[in-house]
Amino acid sequence: MLTAEQNDELTQVDAGTPMGEVLRRYWYPVAFTRELAEFPVKRVELLGEFFALWRSPSGRYGIVPEACPHRKASMAYGVVEPDGLRCPYHGWVFDESGACIEQPAERDDTRFGARVSAKAGVAEELGGLVWAYVGPGPAPRLPRFDVYVMEGFRDIGWADLPCNYVQIMENAVDPHHVEWLHGRYFSFIGRHEGFTSPASFAKKHVKVGFTPFEWGIIKRRVLEGASEENDDWKVGHPLVFPYNMRVGGGGVHQMQIRVPVNRTTTRFMLYTVHRPDEGYEHVEQPMVPDYRIPVLDENGRHVVNYVEGQDIMAWVTQGAITDRTTEHLGRSDIGVAMLRKMFREQMDRVARGEDPIGTIREEHERIDLPCEKDKFHAGARFALDFCDMGSTRFSPMLDTIKKIHVSAAERVASGSAS
């Protein structure tokens, strides 16, 4: 249980608050690459602030606060020029560093332009997403986590959820919910809607564990019928601080992303790469497709006949911001307590002028995160359940994705896998 003051501090995202300052030390996906290819400027909200994001004709990206420093018109309606973004109101141009490089109606023989600037962030493209850093300089490196750079066929599901990101992240260190929300509850829904839920989700947890590591917390579990030699415990999968969770199994590699758009809105994203370890056949993919994850049905009720929809229901029905002053944590909530402690530690580090956990400042090609391959000791069956019972079934690329996993399984079975 937290006090009202502690809960308020934990869930803040605004600049100048302890947690808001921690969050500004990280990179976030703020647009799909295809969006800026379709139209080169976009209004985006991140951490309670609005920005203008643009792509130059040469393929570089820039991001500045939405309000023009001149007379506060929206730069999100700006004109993209080769060397910057031009305000639509009076034509002032700001480059990627935020410098004002042109003021058409002002005299050239003054230093007025040099005294005006926008507080620019940094934007880069990676893996079909445009990422932004809007914190203090110098900006750290954009982490090239394995999922974003590995070979494979990918898609991105997304939904904007009316709740604070912390209650979503607490779910990432709560293994026990799987056997109830995705096991017992899933089975209940299946009986009423006429389908059979995956048996692997209903396995009882015998033991859970949590290990802090350089990127956050590794979550481990031993399921009934398994041991500590199985991937679920021996390898586990990580919560990547402060807003990601890496999961996988059966040739599915996924990063679950929870972007704090503002204090009571979180963009939930499922960045998935389909690449069976054996039998994978390369499929050309000129653009990474994205799809909207269904949240509510036509009657305003949560859609709960797929795994992530059940999670969304549990997160959103806690309210816009969970009231942690009236909760009752038990022994099974040790991971939640560990995460809250980690949030507190990072607030203290940033207050001391230090980088928070997971800050990377070195050039790198790829960061491989620990993640189980044989999830729930279900083997390749996990990938097929993932297609049939997860959000991927709403992907426009579902037929291709299923073909990838079925073809790989058939090639392995025939002994032709390379």
Per residue in 301-357, pLDDT (tens digit) is 999 999 999 999 999 999 999 999 999 999 999 999 999 999 999 999 999 999 999
Q: Looking at the predicted structure, is the pLDDT value of residue 411 above 80? A: no
Where does CATH 2.102.10.10 sit in the chain? 29-133
Tens digits of residue pLDDT in 167-223 = 999 999 999 999 999 999 999 999 999 999 988 888 899 999 999 999 999 999 999
Which residue stretches of 165-242 are H helix? 165-171, 177-179, 185-193, 231-234
pLDDT at 416 over 60: no
Q: CATH 3.90.380 in the chain: give the residue spans.
A: 146-414
pLDDT tens digits for range 363-391: 999 999 999 998 887 777 788 888 889 99
Q: How far is CA 349 from CA 17, 211, 353, in A?
A: 14, 20, 7
**8 A C-beta contact, residue 24 and residue 54:** no
- For residue 137, pLDDT over 70 is answered with yes
Residue 227 is which amino acid?
S
At residue 113 the predicted structure's pLDDT band, cuts being 50, 70 and 90, is low
Q: Is 400 exposed, middle or buried (0-12, 13-18, 19+ CB in 10 A)?
A: middle
Burial 317-335 (b: 16+ CB within 10 A, else e): ebeebbebeeeeeeeebeb
Q: What is the pLDDT of residues 240-293, one digit of tens each?
A: 999 999 999 989 999 999 999 999 999 999 999 999 988 888 888 999 999 999
Residue 251 Cα distances to 127, 232, 247, 328, angstroms: 18, 15, 11, 38
Fold of 146-414: Naphthalene 1,2-dioxygenase Alpha Subunit; Chain A, domain 1 (3.90.380)
Domain 29-133 sits in CATH at 2.102.10.10
Please tell me the predicted confidence (pLDDT) of residue 46: 98
Contacts of 40 (CB under 8 A, 6+ apart): 54, 55, 56, 57, 80
